Amino acid sequence: MKDNDRQTLSESFIINNYLKKLNFNKKESFNFENDGAYLSISENKKIVVSNDTIVEGVDFFTNDDADSIANKIICYNLSDISSMGAMPYCFNLSLGLPKKISKKWLRSFSSKILKLQKKYKFFLLGGDIAQTKHIVISATFFGRIASGRIIRRDGAKINDDIWVTGNLGNSFAGLMFKKNIIKANDTIKKFFIKKYLYPDPCMIGDKLRLIATSAIDISDGFYGDLNKLLQPNNLGANIDVKSIPILPKLKNLILSHKFKINKLLSAGDDYEILFTSDPKKKYLINALSKKNKIKITKIGTIINKKGIYADGKILSLNKKSFQYNF
């Protein structure tokens, strides 16, 4: 039977046809017949909680595909959970949807989440649905730590090494292509736009719990997020700019389009993990990188002098990370 996308989509219809399957029949949700849910946890386990909200026209483009929007809201939270040293367990999902929303959109949205659930092992606990003028999506994630410590942002110490996973700046380049600010051949353009639309969170945080002294996910810009690790203890950082991991094809774009690396490193949406560690743990980090086939690069050192320095020279830039202004 062919879908009629003009059919009225009730809250119960959306729950029963698109959201219930994301729960995997977990008893904690009362089959979505209650307004709340519960979590059973043993005494030696900790739960960490993360919440993110994305809004049409602010955090994603109106013409972005539903699976890209789903990927973003899940990735944002997974990245937060990972940077605290936890693994995802379950999540609540709240959807603010306009009347024009279609079954096709809902299928694509829920199918993408289901793929991510199978990959990272978490389930939908509950949530809410409301009618809104524009798409507004909020997710609250619950992550589990079996034993040991939660990685905090305030643990960096003088002389700690500064490390970062993956490569930086890819999402920023994709956004520049999406806005038609820069140009290149179709292969390069599609590569970076995909990096922007479908970010991939670094999920090794649980393996850093006994290694990292502090950690944060790079969601609001490298410099801004680094500053969040420095501020609690009034510390500074000396960064070796040449060691910052940037793909060669992105370096070529920087040269050809003449936008400065500082702008790239102030942009967000990389969703890599930035962390500090005792220099004696270097061999553990290199072993972790090799075993998990994840690029982890030492990029600097924590110093007893406030500010962010590039090769010994203080940077004159806005170190504040992205914030909404109302």
Name the residue ranges covered by the structural domains of the chain: 11-145, 161-314
Q: Which of 262, 266, 244, 280 is nearest to 165 (CA)?
A: 244
pLDDT confidence of residue 3: 53
Give residue-wise pLDDT tens across range 237-291: 999 989 999 999 999 888 887 567 878 888 888 999 999 999 999 999 999 999 9
Q: Where are the beta strands (DSSP E) in the chain?
A: 46-55, 87-97, 123-131, 136-145, 161-165, 212-217, 236-239, 273-277, 296-303, 307-310, 313-314
d(CA 210, CA 230): 20
Q: Give the β-pairing of 236-239 and 307-310.
A: parallel
**87-107 burial: b if 16+ Cβ within 10 Å, else e:** bbbbbbbbbbbeeebebebbe
The residue assigned the tokens 């090494």 is 161
For tokens 């700046």, name the residue: 169
Output the six-digit token pair for 90.
């379950």
Residues 152, 83: Cα–Cα separation, whole Å: 9
The predicted structure's pLDDT at residue 268: 83
Class of the domain covering 11-145 = alpha beta
Note the pLDDT of residue 38: 62
CA-to-CA distance for 47 and 120, rounded, in angstroms?
Answer: 17
Res 37: pLDDT: 61
The DSSP letter of residue 321 is: P
Which residues on adjacent β-strands are paired with residue 275?
163, 215
The first and second tokens of residue 279, run together, are: 């220099």
Which class in CATH covers the domain with range 161-314? alpha beta
Question: Which regions in the chain score pLDDT beneath 50?
Answer: 1-2, 6, 318-319, 322-326
Q: pLDDT for 79-109, tens place per residue?
A: 999 999 999 999 999 999 999 999 999 999 9
How much is the pLDDT for 313? 84
